[in-house]
Amino acid sequence: MRHIGDNTHESSQDMELITPDLMRRFDIPGPRYTSYPTADRFVPDQQGEALIGALQARASGPALPMSLYIHVPFCESVCYYCACNKVITKDHGKVQDYLRYLEVEIDRVSQHLAGPEGELSPVSQLHFGGGSPTFLSDEELASLVARLRARFEFVPGAECSIEIDPRTVNGARLAHIRQLGFNRISFGVQDFDPLVQEAIHRVQPFEQVAALMKEARALHFDSINMDLIYGLPHQGPTSFARTLQQVVSIRPDRIALYAYAHLPARFKPQRRIDAFVLPGADLKLRMLDQAIETFLQQGYEYIGMDHFALPEDQLARVKREGRLQRNFQGYHTNAGSDLVGFGVSAISQVGRAYSQNVKTLAEYYAALDAGQLPVERGLTLDDDDLLRREVIMALMCQGQVRFEPLERRYGISFVDYFDEALERIREFESFGLVLRTDAGIEVSKAGWFFVRAVAMAFDKYLWQHADHHRFSKVL
Ligand code: SF4
């Protein structure tokens, strides 16, 4: 097993630290920390009080740039590994209603966001996710983007990204997406092996994706990401090695490599996956190792958790500069900006508040018809939550926490305040995965494999309820 903190291919002390025993020892269930507290801690908030309070507080402060997220829930067919909030339908007529209600939500949220003169903060980042945003026709996408541009001012060079289902686009559609101002795209690939694709009900041959990749390059998108999953049915080291070679042959700027978590009791589509053809834990670790080796050898840099990027990609640059951020879309490059989400199940993170929308179309439409925000639950963070969020995000993004700035800002002694958490990370220290000094703690290069498990030591709610077994494993 090689370490993932640098791009040399030499063996090192760090690398030797990672043994299969160690991986088994620390491969425990835990959150992915796209937020802290994690979304399962949100409480019912049907009036959207947490969000409204945070939006209004924001409106009365300086007009700092913000991020927008638009959730498009529709997909034509279901992928059996899916754990997303989506609506499976072939009826494209449903889109018009959805877009109409989205506009109502955008207008209503904007009212709370408007400053004293009615002005709105500029937008520095826009992301379309799903479901499948490319379920929308060219005209529907254009009208939604036009609506957003009419309502919000975008900063020059704003990052505009969209998730692409390769089965729903061709070169002409990609050109249209580029022309709408999207400068980053993400292809959902998962695996190129035909047997695996059949078993997950997502057939998209390598040649099709490679051709799209070529078109995307010619259109000069700033960054092209590819999502992969290991641990899928029928995957094994031999076929996965072929997929990895195919991926690096078309050289996406970023690669997100996720572990498949088989939780059929929670996610209905996963019941269509035959558990007997899923690779076991040891095979999964071998495939993870293969992937890391392949990407590092091919010049990718390890960003954190599941992400790799070419050195010249902005994600790699901000990582090197210590400015990496994390939110509900994973790692990103937009320092300190609030995120406002629109659409079913969308999550917002504004100031001290988190807020999540209702999950079904019927509830979404009913709330908006009733003149409300379509919010289901939320949370207003107290000072302890804010402090722990900073610690956990510093670990997840920079791999280190410096005590002094936090002590100054929060008026605490770090070692006294976090004595229990520091006790919990002793085990990681004893295996060389975490280094502790008087000034702070740092995840070692080998420790990056287990950064989620290290962060868990600082999660108050996990230890209050001792319930981390509900989460997927950290590797
Ligand atoms: S994985 Fe994505 S494309 Fe597939 S069903 Fe789920 S949301 Fe739709």
Is the minimum distance from the CB of 82 to ligand 1 under 6 angstroms?
A: yes
pLDDT in tens, 182-206: 999 999 999 999 999 999 999 999 9
Q: 39-339: what fold?
A: pyruvate-formate lyase- activating enzyme (3.80.30)
Digit-coded pLDDT (tens) for 256-273: 999 998 999 999 999 999
Q: Which atom of ligand 1 is nearest to the CA of 86?
A: 7
pTM: predicted TM-score of the whole model, two decimal places: 0.91
Residue from 72, 79, 268 whose mutation best tests the ligand 1 pocket (most atoms within 8 A of CB): 79
Cβ(193) – ligand 1 distance below 6 Å: no
Cα–ligand 1 centroid distance for 246 (angstroms): 22
Amino acid 348: pLDDT: 96
Of 327, 359, 378, give the one whose Cα is nearest residue 48.
378
Check residue 5 and give its pLDDT: 44
Q: Which atom of ligand 1 is nearest to the CA of 75?
A: 8
Q: What average pLDDT does the chain have?
A: 90
Instruction: Provide CB contacts within 8 A for 242, sequence distance 6+.
Output: 192, 193
Q: Would you say the CB of residue 166 lies under 6 angstroms from ligand 1?
A: no
Quick one: pLDDT band at residue 43, thresholds 50, 70, 90? very high
Judge whether residue 9 has pLDDT over 60: no
Confidence of residue 328 (pLDDT cuts 50, 70, 90): confident
pLDDT, residue 458, reads 97
Identify the bridge partners of residue 43 per DSSP, sorted by sequence position: 378
Please give the share of the chain, as a percent, with pLDDT higher than 90.
74
Residue 23: pLDDT over 80: no
What mean pLDDT comes out for the span 31-39?
Answer: 91
**pLDDT of 178:** 98
| pLDDT score recorded for residue 62 | 86
The pLDDT score that the predictor gives to residue 47 is 85
Instruction: Work out the average pLDDT over 447-458.
Output: 89
Q: Is the shortest distance between the CB of 165 and ligand 1 below 6 Å?
A: yes
Q: How far is the CA of 131 from the centre of ligand 1 (A)?
A: 5
The 10 Å CB-count burial string (b at 16+, else e) for 166-187 is bbebeeebbbbbbebebbbbbb
Ligand 1 pocket check for 50: Cβ under 6 Å = no
Ligand 1 atom at shortest distance from the alpha carbon of 202: 4
Confidence band for 470, pLDDT divided at 50, 70 and 90: low
- Whether 273 and 94 have beta carbons less than 8 Å apart is answered as no
pLDDT confidence tier of residue 13, bands split at 50, 70 and 90: very low
Residue 352 in contact with residue 28, Cβ under 8 Å? no
User: Which ranges of 125-205 would DSSP assign to H, the alpha helix?
Assistant: 138-151, 171-179, 194-200
Q: What's the pLDDT at 468?
A: 55
CATH code that applies to domain 13-32+382-467:
1.10.10.920
Q: Band of the pLDDT at 464, cuts 50, 70, 90? A: confident
Distance separating alpha carbons of residues 48 and 111, to the nearest angstrom: 14
**Pocket of ligand 1 contains residue 356 by CB under 6 Å:** no
Instruction: Evaluate whether 447 touches 434 at the Cβ level (below 8 Å).
Output: yes
Residue 345 near ligand 1, beta carbon < 6 Å: no
Q: At 281, is the pLDDT very low, low, confident or very high (cuts 50, 70, 90)?
A: confident
| Between 26 and 226, the higher pLDDT residue | 226
Does ligand 1 have an atom closer than 6 angstroms to the CB of 233? no
**For 169-185, what is each residue's pLDDT tens digit?**
999 999 999 999 999 99
Whose structure tokens read 């590797």?
475
pLDDT of res. 322: 84
Q: What's the CA-to-centroid distance between 78 and ligand 1, angstroms?
A: 6
Give residue 87's pLDDT band: very low, low, confident or very high (50, 70, 90): very high
What residue segments make up the domains of the chain, in order of their start?
13-32+382-467, 39-339
Amino acid 24: pLDDT: 72
Q: Is the pLDDT of residue 429 over 80?
A: yes
10 Å CB burial of residue 451 (0-12, 13-18, 19+) is: buried
244 CB burial (10 A radius; 0-12, 13-18, 19+):
buried
Nearest ligand 1 atom, CA 130: 7
pLDDT surpasses 70 at 297: yes
Per-residue pLDDT of 415-427, as tens digits, reads 999 999 999 999 9
User: Distance between CA atoms of 352 and 181, rounded to whole angstroms?
Assistant: 31
